[in-house]
Amino acid sequence: MLRIGMGYDVHKLVEDRKLILGGVEIEHTLGLLGHSDADVLVHAIMDALLGAIAGGDIGKHFPDTDPQYKGISSIKLLEHVKGILDREGAVVHNIDATIIAQKPKMAPHIMAMRENIAAALNIEVNQINVKATTEEGLGFTGTQQGISSQAIVLLDKK
C-alpha cells in the first residue's frame, strides 16, 4: 500500500554551534540550537518517514530529555528510523525536501546532503531531492533567526 508522509522542523540559529544540514557541516557564523546536532533537514525527513507508517514523530522515538541523544548526529538517528521502516515492511520510493534559510547558500552542499541521506536509508541518490529557498528577508528565516525544513515522502508499506 502506498503511503505519504509529511515532515516539518525548525531550529533557532545561535552562536557557538555548528551548522549541520543533511549531515553536512556548513561553514557559517551561526549554527542550529538543539539537543542533537539540530539538523532540521534530516529531522523533517525522519518525521515524514515516521508519519507515513503512522509511527509517531522524532520526539516519541528520540526525546530531548534523554541524555543518550545529546549532541548525536541526526544521520545516526535516520539510520535508526531506517530500522523501524524495515521492521514495518516499508520501502521508500522517494523523498522531496526543502530547506528554508536566508543564508548561507545551500547549493554547493546539496549533493553531499543527498548522498548522506541515501546512505543512511540504503536507497539511491536519485530517490532524494533536496532544494533550498529563502523567504526574501521575511519571517524568522528571512531575518536569520532560524532555519526550517519541510519534507514529503512516498513509501510502500506491506
67 is in an annotated binding site: no
Q: Is 136 annotated as a binding residue?
A: yes
107 is in an annotated binding site: yes
Residues 6 or more apart in contact with residue 151 via CB below 8 angstroms: 6, 7, 8, 41, 44, 45, 47, 48, 95, 96, 97, 98
**Quick check: 3 and 156 in contact, CB under 8 A?**
yes
45 assigned binding-site residue: no
Task: State yes or no: 66 annotated in a binding site.
Answer: yes
Judge whether 101 is annotated as a binding position: yes
Q: What are the cell numbers at 112?
A: 553531499
Check the annotation: does 102 bind a ligand.
yes
Q: How many C-beta atoms lie closer than 10 Å to residue 83's C-beta? A: 9
**Is 65 assigned to a binding site?**
yes
Residue 29 labeled ligand binder: no
80 belongs to an annotated ligand binding site = no
The reply, when asked if residue 98 is annotated as ligand binding, is no
Q: Indicate if the alpha-carbon torsion angle 96, 100, 102, 106 is positive or negative.
A: negative
Q: Is 135 annotated as a binding residue?
A: yes
Query: Is 119 a known ligand-binding residue?
Result: no
Whether residue 104 is annotated as binding a ligand: the answer is yes
Is 59 annotated in a binding site? The answer is yes
Which residues line the annotated binding site?
9-11, 35-36, 43, 57-59, 62-66, 101-107, 133-136, 140
Which residues line the annotated binding site for a divalent metal cation?
9, 11, 43
